[in-house]
Chains A and B, each alone.
Chain A
Amino acid sequence: MSPPSDRMLMSRRGLLRGAAAAPAAWVLAACTSDTLNGESTDGERAPDDPDGELLQEAVAVVSGLVDLVSRAITERPVAARDLRALLRTHRRHAEVLGSARRASATTAPTTSETPGLPRGRAAVLSMVASEETRASRRHLRHVARASSGPFAQLLASISAAEAQLATTLQAV
């Protein structure tokens, strides 16, 4: 079975196919993944999901970040203000990837180890930034391996978001 991003992004892809043929970027249609939040069904999917293992790995990476940032907010309140937006982002990633995992009926990912937290605010933010960068690179490697184009697209976007978060934390 393929991740639901496959089927759910179809209408978006159709839109963008037409847009990509336009002569200049200014006339490109807005990127509207409007169907991604819809409920998916398994009925149209093949029993073998070439991206199933990859999806589990991606979920594990995001789950690790959710755990890490949640723990940092709880255990290092001095850094909480800087980290709440990150947690929202990672939970959103987990939500989208998690619904994909449920729909593709893959087994739950193994819990990833989260590193220990340093004491000071700057040290915590620096550590989280490093983990964001690491996650971004891992998701970029996932992009290369994905069989499904729309799934690769989702992973590339998540990788870019994590790179943004790392850069933002490094600037604090």
Chain B
Amino acid sequence: MTASAGKAPATAASPTPEAGVGPLQAALAAEHAALYAYGVVGAILGRDEERAVMSYDEHRAQRDELVARIGPAAVAAEPAYALPFPVTDDRQAQRLARVVEHRCAAVYADVVSRTSGAARMLAARGLTDCALRGLRWDDAPEPFPGLGSLRS
């Protein structure tokens, strides 16, 4: 299942990508949270806010792809999520969207390191999608999306 199956590990310290879809559960949990957050963003910005609608639709498509890949064991969404700060105006809603994309990017980056094959590529594309959506919310490009402290 993994790309490294049958090979000796490169080093004793090298983590080997995991088999199966287990690591994708973290990405799915992040997508559930992102959809909840974009529900809030959309409610604040209004249904005419095209960026919110596009972002919501893209996260929903990604969630559906993850659910299809994981199968019956797919984690369910929580009933509610604690937002990282109060969101009561447009500026805060846009900030929340940026935070969502940063956090999802970090999750996808982690999933890339823990998977191989199709699951890894799904995560890598998810990472890029988050990075590009961040720009939509006026985020600046960064040298290492998903790898926070390498930013400087």
A interface list, Cβ under 8 A from B: 1-2, 6-7, 9-10, 13, 16, 19-26, 28, 30-34, 36-37, 44-46, 48-51, 85, 88-89, 92-93, 96, 136, 140, 143-144, 147-150, 152-154, 156-161, 163-165, 167-168
Contacts and interface: CB of A to CB of B under 8 A. Distances in A.
Contacts of A48: 10
| Most chain B Cβ neighbours within 10 Å, of A46, A49, A164 | A164
Nearest to B150: A33
Contacts, number: 195
B14 A161 contact: no
B127 A20 contact: no
Contacts of B42: none
Secondary structure of the A contact surface, majority rule? helix
Contacts of B14: 2, 6-7, 148-150
Nearest to B16: A149
Given A20-B107, A31-B106, A147-B4, A156 B112 contact: yes
Contacts of A10: 13, 15
Interface of B: 3-4, 7, 10-17, 23, 25-26, 29-30, 32-34, 75, 78, 81-84, 103-117, 120-121, 123-125, 127-128, 130-132, 134-135, 141-150
Contacts of A36: 147, 149-150
B11 A2 contact: yes
A157 B144 contact: yes
Nearest to A51: B10
B143 A89 contact: yes
A150 B116 CA distance: 11
